[in-house]
């Protein structure tokens, strides 16, 4: 372990200062009642259904709880009880803040365990990374699992010399990471294996015992013990014993591999350049390169460097971040999560020279601080704009009769748009706020919820109709017609200002605003 500058001086001050920085970084979450996180409110609606299904005949007619030990269930377990005591929108904010606190604290704990140092520079660099590409997707379970992975890695680094006490605790922590998210567990294992290999390969000091292969085998075997229970459970899950149906390693190809690779490689570049995601691509690229340039400059000056044991892990993390990995084991967007892991690993491995900052170093630090503040301010301004959009949505949703089947129809080129407002949040909000039933993430191998009854029939029928698969973005005009014919009572069209021609005239318009159009199926009763 790298302990070039071990110290306990000022540890309390550093903790309070790091906590203060985190609190300031939460301002963007507090300036809007609705967080523009694409998938998050779909998850929040699932938590709401699970927490209220016992008291609602309507929910019971369309959903079914499916509690099982799944490798994607951590936030469900924590958040479902929370929805029984807090208003849903407040609970959503609390859940996100808690996940970010786990991630932030985990990386700082890992940093101190790896480097033997406490420094505010890693804490400062983490602030803009909290608002990352993965968070904007709303991948809550992965972010919680990744934060726990850094906590678990930090624990192992601190206690690895006492394996009798370290291994049992690490096995428990590894299970927690696994049940939050399988990919986070894989990254945890990879990180520790490469760190242990680096410890083994480090230069030996005079008089120290020579390097023996058996030492590396023993160290890796202690890590492998942590993987026994997750690996056994994973095999059961993949076979359909633990979840519901068998899981394919790779999905069936719908296009030639070369076409997929060319398209996905281009899309994956965005997840790298926008690992810190703000209001625009140009802004994100400029501020990312500025921050990287400052860190490289400080490395050149000898002010900061990477801890020697972390070189293998950092190199592997950066290599993985560049590869457009396809969906596998029922999980999509795996590659988009890896740039964040690599960036957090770099920050966790930074050592800082403990001497006064002088001259150009102080100027570089000042520029870095300003860049971080500008990024947080830009995110806050961007997110605050969703308050007006939410109020507009509320005025439209008031026209929907309770206990109906509704389907959201966000207009645009696809998910994760920044040129148009994100509106994927509003469909799930109808379930929470207007007693509706609508499509939710309900994979029996990943979520503890199933759709059934009229909703399941409507969803299945829609998937079979022309325009029902992918039509939500490719052709919203055909999609609303297919949804109405499949049994949905209402279609909430968002980003309606992007429509270039009238919607089907046979679908009555209940209400129209600048960004929303509420349609009712011709046969549905108000």
- Determine the Cα–Cα distance for residues 277 and 227; give it in Å rounded to an integer: 33
| Rounded-to-integer distance, Cα 397 and Cα 393, Å | 6
Q: Are 192 and 317 in contact (CB under 8 A)?
A: no
What is the pLDDT at residue 152? 97
The helix or strand, by DSSP H or E, that contains position 407, with its residue range, turns out to be strand 406-410
Q: Look up the pTM and report it.
A: 0.92
Residue-level pLDDT at 261: 66
Cα distances from 170 to residues 36, 157, 159, 178, in angstroms, run 35, 10, 10, 12
How are beta strands 406-410 and 490-494 bridged, if at all?
Answer: parallel
Write out pLDDT tens, residues 404-432. Answer: 999 999 888 665 666 778 899 999 999 99
* Tokens (6 digits) for 174: 């590894």
Which parts of the chain have pLDDT scores under 70? 1-11, 248-263, 329-330, 413-418, 469-474, 524-526
* Structure confidence at residue 477 (pLDDT): 87
Residue extents of the structural domains in the chain: 11-30+66-202+213-355, 404-520
pLDDT for res 509: 94
Q: 182-218 pLDDT, tens per residue?
A: 999 999 999 999 999 999 988 877 777 777 888 899 9
Per-residue confidence (pLDDT) for residue 221, from 0 to 100: 94
């Amino acid at each position: 372990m790298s302990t070039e500058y071990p110290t306990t001086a000022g540890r309390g001050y550093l903790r309070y200062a790091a906590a203060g920085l985190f609190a300031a970084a939460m301002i963007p979450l507090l300036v809007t009642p609705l967080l523009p996180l694409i998938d998050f409110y779909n998850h929040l609606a699932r938590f709401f259904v699970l927490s209220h299904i016992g008291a609602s005949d309507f929910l019971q007619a369309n959903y079914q709880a499916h509690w099982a030990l799944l490798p994607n269930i951590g936030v469900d377990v924590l958040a479902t009880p929370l929805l029984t005591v807090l208003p849903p929108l407040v609970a959503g904010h609390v859940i996100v803040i808690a996940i970010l606190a786990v991630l932030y604290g985990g990386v700082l704990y890992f940093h101190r365990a790896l480097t033997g140092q406490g420094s505010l520079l890693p804490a400062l660099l983490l602030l803009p990374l909290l608002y990352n590409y993965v968070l904007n997707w709303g991948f809550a379970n992965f972010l919680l699992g990744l934060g726990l992975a850094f906590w678990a890695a930090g624990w192992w680094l601190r206690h690895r010399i006492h394996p009798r006490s370290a291994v049992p605790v690490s096995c428990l922590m590894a299970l927690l990471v696994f049940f939050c998210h399988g990919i986070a567990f894989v990254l945890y294992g990879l990180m520790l294996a490469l760190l242990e290999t680096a410890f083994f390969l480090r230069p030996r000091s005079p008089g120290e015992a020579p390097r023996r292969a058996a030492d590396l085998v023993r160290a890796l075997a202690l890590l492998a013990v942590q993987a026994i229970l997750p690996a056994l459970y994973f095999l059961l899950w993949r076979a359909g014993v633990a979840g519901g149906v068998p899981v394919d390693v790779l999905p069936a190809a719908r296009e030639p591999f070369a076409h997929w690779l060319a398209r996905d490689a281009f899309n994956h570049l965005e997840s790298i350049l926008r690992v810190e995601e703000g209001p625009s691509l140009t802004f994100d690229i400029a501020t990312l390169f500025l921050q990287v340039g400052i860190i490289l400059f400080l490395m050149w000056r000898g002010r900061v460097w990477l801890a020697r044991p972390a070189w293998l892990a950092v190199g592997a993390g950066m290599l993985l971040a560049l590869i457009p990995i396809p969906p596998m084991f029922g999980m999509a967007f795996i590659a988009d999560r890896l740039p964040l892991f690599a960036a957090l690993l770099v920050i966790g491995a930074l050592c800082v020279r403990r001497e006064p900052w002088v001259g150009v170093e102080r100027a570089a630090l000042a520029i870095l601080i300003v860049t971080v503040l500008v990024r947080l301010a830009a995110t806050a301004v961007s997110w605050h704009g969703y308050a007006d959009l939410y109020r507009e949505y509320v005025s439209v949703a008031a026209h929907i009769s309770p206990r109906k089947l509704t389907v959201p129809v966000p207009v645009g080129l696809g998910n994760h748009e920044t040129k148009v407002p994100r509106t994927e949040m509003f469909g799930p909000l109808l379930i929470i706020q207007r007693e509706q039933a609508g499509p939710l993430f309900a994979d029996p191998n990943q979520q503890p919820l199933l759709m059934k009854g009229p909703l399941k029939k409507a969803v299945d029928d829609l998937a079979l109709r022309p325009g029902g698969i992918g039509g939500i973005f490719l052709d919203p005009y055909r999609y609303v017609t297919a949804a109405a014919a499949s049994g949905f009572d209402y279609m909430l069209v968002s980003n309606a200002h992007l429509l270039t021609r009238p919607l089907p005239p046979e679908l009555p318009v209940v209400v129209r605003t600048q960004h929303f159009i509420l349609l009712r199926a011709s046969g549905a009763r108000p």
